[in-house]
Amino acid sequence: MKSKTDKTKLLSDRRTFIKSTGAVTAGIMFTPSFSIAGSTVGMQEALALNGGPKAVTASDEDGTTWPRYGADEEKAVLEVLRDPSYKPNDVFEEAWKKRFNVPYCKAHFNGTSAITAMFFALKLPPGSEV
C-alpha cells in the first residue's frame, strides 16, 4: 500500500499534468495556425460569418418543396387505397429481414405500438417491472 505522501505526490503530479496540458490545448485551439515538424496545423479557414466558405450550399427551396415524393410513391399509395391489405407491410418486412439478415421483423406505425409489441415478445409474466 502506498503511503499518504505518495498518494498526495501522485495527485499533485496528475493535477500539474492536467493543468499544463489543458493550457497547451487551449493555446493550440485559439491559435490560427502553428507548425509542428514542418507541417502547418490548426484552423485553416475562417467561418462563413467571417468571410469563409459557406458550410451549407444547398438551395433553401429544396427544404420547402412539397410534396416530397414522386410517381412511384403516388402509385404505391393508390394501390393501398384501392386494395387495403397488409401485403405492402409483408413485402417491406421481408425485404428488411433479408437486408439485415434477421429472423424476425415487424413494422409498426408508431413508437407506442412498437414498444407494446416488444413487451409481448418478451413474454414477461404478469406483475413484471420494466
Given a cut of 80, whether residue 76 has pLDDT beyond it is: yes
The answer to whether 130 and 116 are in contact (CB under 8 A) is no
Given a cut of 90, whether residue 21 has pLDDT beyond it is: no
Given this model, what pLDDT does residue 29 score? 60
47-58 pLDDT tens trace = 888 888 888 887
1-17 pLDDT tens trace = 556 666 565 556 777 77
| Mean pLDDT of the region 102-122 | 91
Distance CA 64, CA 48 (A): 23
What are the start-end ranges of the H helices in the chain? 4-29, 61-64, 71-82, 87-100, 111-122
Given a cut of 70, whether residue 61 has pLDDT beyond it is: yes
Per-residue cell: 25: 490545448
Residues in Cβ contact with 119 at an 8 Å cutoff, skipping those fewer than 6 apart: 130
